[in-house]
Amino acid sequence: MNAKYLIFGSTGSIGSNLANQLHNSNEDIHLVGRNEEEVKSLSEKLKCTYSIADVLEDNFIEKVKSDISEVKGIAYCVGSIDLKPLKMVTEDDFQKCMKLNLYSAVEVIKAYQENLKKNKGSIILFSTVAVQRGFTNHSIIGSTKAAVEGLTISLAAEFAPNIRVNCIAPSLTNSKIAQPLLKNTIMAEGIAKAHPMKRIGEGKDAAATAKPIGERDSGLGKRRTKKKAAKPIQKPLFL
Ligand SMILES: NC(=O)c1ccc[n+]([C@@H]2O[C@H](COP(=O)([O-])OP(=O)(O)OC[C@H]3O[C@@H](n4cnc5c(N)ncnc54)[C@H](OP(=O)(O)O)[C@@H]3O)[C@@H](O)[C@H]2O)c1
């Protein structure tokens, strides 16, 4: 069986664009998502296999592993934008955010670590520009994604030279999780203007950054792993 690229969060803005871009490059992909109707429809369009899994459920990874064993790349495109003023933040908020963005990603990586090593594969994780920039009400997601960046750098060292590990830190991107921010058109225009390209990012922007880094024979990925471990990529998006 040919090793495939495994995409978690495949129904999301970035995940679905990455799936499309890999498909257009004739790569074999396997989609993972929690909404069966959406995942099935995308898999029919892209003529690929899929698994249904909610990453917050116990043993979700066993279900995925029973569907696919050979992987050459994993993109964990699941995530959230949890925004609250610190006064309202609870420990439970942190737990939930860490579970979705970090702990479940760790479960996925552990499950495929040996197989990725065998296939000289790669892992792409997602942080946020807010980790390095600092925005108001971002204490939960900023801390959590900082942990994702820490995981990236640790695993890039631990897995080198067999598995490349990188992380992309997008700015605000047109997506389901960004709708609470983008539905306010005045706010959305203000955020767009604060960016060099004067627009909000699109899923295809981050996907186009992820694709060459994730691909097995990518010179970019090899060079970064060797010389600089895996400093998270700070918004090369739409710049
Ligand atoms: N969008 C932004 O502005 C932005 C900014 C910085 C960083 N990021 C990061 O970029 C990555 C991709 O996000 P995106 O922009 O593509 O947002 P998106 O379109 O909202 O996609 C998020 C994905 O996560 C999936 N997901 C959420 N909870 C899940 C669960 N419990 N089990 C399984 N899947 C679950 C969603 O599934 P459903 O389709 O079923 O909802 C969706 O496919 C995330 O890590 C995000 O934190 C995004």
Task: Tell me the CA end-to-end span of the chain in Å, nearest whole number.
Answer: 39
The CB of 126 under 6 Å from ligand 1? The reply is yes
* pLDDT value at residue 106: 98
Count other Cβ atoms within 10 Å, centred on residue 64: 24
Tokens standing for 45?
Answer: 């369009």
pLDDT, one tens digit per residue, over 160-181 is 999 999 999 999 999 999 999 9
Can you tell me which atom of ligand 1 is nearest the CA of 181? 3
Angle at which helices 13-24 and 203-214 cross, to 10°: 50
Q: Whose CA is nearest to atom 37 of ligand 1?
A: 9
Provide the angle, in degrees to the nearest 10, between the axes of the packed helices 203-214 and 219-228.
80
pLDDT tens digit sequence for 201-215? 999 999 999 998 877
pLDDT-based confidence at residue 190 (cuts at 50, 70, 90): very high
Residue 229 has pLDDT above 60, yes or no: no
For residue 77, pLDDT beyond 50:
yes
Q: What is the Å distance from ligand 1's center to 111 Cα?
A: 21
Q: Which of 121, 125, 11, 126 is nearest to 68 (CA)?
A: 121
For residue 11 and ligand 1, the question of a CB distance below 6 A is answered with yes
Structural domain spans, the chain: 4-173+203-226
Nearest CA to ligand 1 atom 11: 77
- Other CB atoms within a 10 A radius of the CB of residue 114 amount to 11
Ramachandran sector of residue 198 (left: φ over 0; alpha: ψ -120 to 50; beta: rest): left
Q: How far is the CA of 211 from the centre of ligand 1 (A)?
A: 17
- Hey, how many other C-beta atoms are within 10 angstroms of the C-beta on 40? 14
Of the options 3.40.50.10800, 3.40.50.720, 1.10.3720.10, 3.30.365.10, the CATH number for the domain spanning 4-173+203-226: 3.40.50.720
Q: Which atom of ligand 1 is nearest to the CA of 125?
A: 45
| Reported confidence tier of residue 216, pLDDT bands at 50, 70, 90 | low
Q: How confident is the model at residue 66 (pLDDT cuts 50, 70, 90)?
A: very high
Q: Does the predicted model carry a pTM greater than 0.75? A: yes
Q: Nearest residue CA, atom 7 of ligand 1?
A: 128
CA distance 238 to 195: 9
Check if 35 has its Cβ closer than 6 Å to any atom of ligand 1: yes
Q: How confident is the model at residue 220, as a pLDDT?
A: 43
Ligand 1 atom index nearest CA of 177: 20
User: From the CA of 228, how far away is ligand 1's center (Å)?
Assistant: 27
Joined tokens for residue 134? 């600092």
* For range 51-75, the mean pLDDT: 97
Mean pLDDT over each residue of the chain, to the nearest integer: 91
Mean predicted confidence (pLDDT) in 91-114? 98
Q: Whose CA is nearest to atom 47 of ligand 1?
A: 79
**Window from 54-68, 145-159, 207-221 with minimum mean pLDDT:** 207-221
